Structure 1
Amino acid sequence: MHYNSTKEAHRNSSVFKVEKSLASEWGRYGMRFNAIAPGPIETKGAFTRLDPTGQFMKRTLEQIPIGRLGEIEELANLSTYLVSDYASWINGEIIAFDGGQLPYAAGMFNQLTQVTQEQWDMLEKAIRNVKGS
């Protein structure tokens, strides 16, 4: 997903609104509507064609706090759980399945992970020197 794309955001918000509407309208009939919003999952076919240089993979991994891509089996496990009776109380939810990428990449302070210890020390000193602190 391109988090900065207006068109993508509009399309996804429409899908999510329909999913939530269906959940509220049809829940009384025992029907559940949940969605999975997956992050990048590496597959041979996709990545050899879409990222032959590995640049996308490198940038993407820098934005995933867990430090790796998802695996097909993990997505299958989540899907299986959502359609099982174990998840019978879950309805109208969109489950982010991205290793923490969305909150990290969309965050205002996401570049703070690149601040060195020396820079942190300088910031702390500057903050402590402010009157009233």
Structure 2
Amino acid sequence: MEQTDVVEEGVEMGRLANRIGVVTGAAQGIGRAIAISLAEEGADVVLGDIDSQGLQETARAVSALGRQARTVVGDSTEAEVANALVDVAVQDLGRIDILVNNVGGARVGKIWEFSDEDWDFVIRLNLRSMFCCTRAATPHMIAQRSGRIISISSGARHGSPWQSYYLGASAYSTSKAGIHGFTRDVALELSEYGINVNAVAPGPILTERGREYFSAHEQDEYSAKKMTPLRRYGEVKEISDVVTFLASDEASYITGQTIDVNGGR
């Protein structure tokens, strides 16, 4: 585990002025977009990922907006790393107001061919980081009687035809459904402390990885674009905008919800 920091002075105000956020999986894609969006609204952020180079690029983007960025390089499915992310926020930046659980990923395969190893990998990746980071953050949020916890689920929690028919994605769909259940339960556990817990469920989004996949399957009968009523893919900013809204005071009466951002699918 390696810790570094990138800091630049700035005083831009916004909906999240003077708040401190932690974002996991922040080295690229949706995670990077979320970190930048939080910074644009005035938050300082602690960024976590296993990709040190990508993490530094995100930190530089945050710093260029005049906000403070810290990075923790490591696997946040490990409790030690999850704890370090929260500790850096509290010890270096003073508190933790926002936690965004964005770490996730998939391995594909039809159920009759799927290995124990691949199943365990996907379930761990999509659920354990969320659990470890939330567990680490909640005592601080309870003490200050405020906080926002936002996890990235997926439309795949209902099953995604473009994955299921052609590749098989039962582990991914199962884990993303688990995020919905976790969100509902933890929202109830923390409601008396003024902590809002929600999830965002993206549809097909043009991340670095998504572009390659969607391009390869564009002509499939059940392609992602054909199965999406708006007939287009989503952009990462369309996810980060909703996460930022949920982190703000504008969403103060929303908790225990999974918000679909999926083009109507």
TM-score category, normalised to shorter length: 0.5 to 0.7
Inter-partner Cα distance in structure 1 for 2:180 and 2:239:
19
Q: Which has the higher contact order (CA 8 A, sep 6+)?
A: 1
Residue 204 of structure 2 contacts residue 210 of structure 2 at CA under 8 Å; is this kept in 1?
A: no
Inter-partner Cα distance in structure 2 for 1:49 and 1:74:
19
Per the alignment, residue 251 of structure 2 pairs with 87
Inter-partner Cα distance in structure 2 for 1:48 and 1:9:
20
Inter-partner Cα distance in structure 2 for 1:6 and 1:86:
35
Inter-partner Cα distance in structure 2 for 1:85 and 1:28:
17
Equivalent residue runs for 1:50-129 within 5 Å? 50-51=213-214, 54-58=215-219, 59-101=223-265
Per the alignment, residue 131 of structure 1 pairs with none
Inter-partner Cα distance in structure 2 for 1:56 and 1:41:
14
Deviations 1:19-68 (A, max 9, x none): 1111001011011110001011113x3245435xx242452111110111
Inter-partner Cα distance in structure 2 for 1:7 and 1:73:
27
Deviations 1:55-91 (A, max 9, x none): 4245211111011111122111111111100000000
Say if 2:182 is the partner of 1:18: yes
The number of equivalent residue pairs is: 98
**TM value normalised by structure 2:** 0.34
Inter-partner Cα distance in structure 1 for 2:240 and 2:198:
14
Inter-partner Cα distance in structure 1 for 2:176 and 2:211:
26
Say if 2:205 is the partner of 1:41: yes
How far is the alpha carbon of 1:13 from its aligned partner?
2.5
For structure 1, which runs of at least 5 residues remain unmatched after alignment? 102-133
Distance 1:30 1:57, change over 3 A: farther
Distance 1:48 1:60, change over 3 A: closer
Inter-partner Cα distance in structure 2 for 1:67 and 1:48:
15
Residue 179 of structure 2 contacts residue 199 of structure 2 at CA under 8 Å; is this kept in 1?
A: no
Inter-partner Cα distance in structure 1 for 2:187 and 2:211:
38
Distance 1:50 1:91, change over 3 A: same
Inter-partner Cα distance in structure 2 for 1:12 and 1:47:
17
**Computing the radius of gyration over CA atoms, which structure comes out larger, 1 or 2?**
1
Inter-partner Cα distance in structure 2 for 1:23 and 1:40:
26
Higher strand share: 2
How far is the alpha carbon of 1:14 from its aligned partner?
2.1
Q: Counterpart of 1:60 in 2: which secondary structure?
A: coil
Inter-partner Cα distance in structure 2 for 1:84 and 1:37:
18
Distance 1:80 1:63, change over 3 A: same
Distance 1:48 1:35, change over 3 A: closer
For structure 2, which runs of at least 5 residues remain unmatched after alignment? 1-155
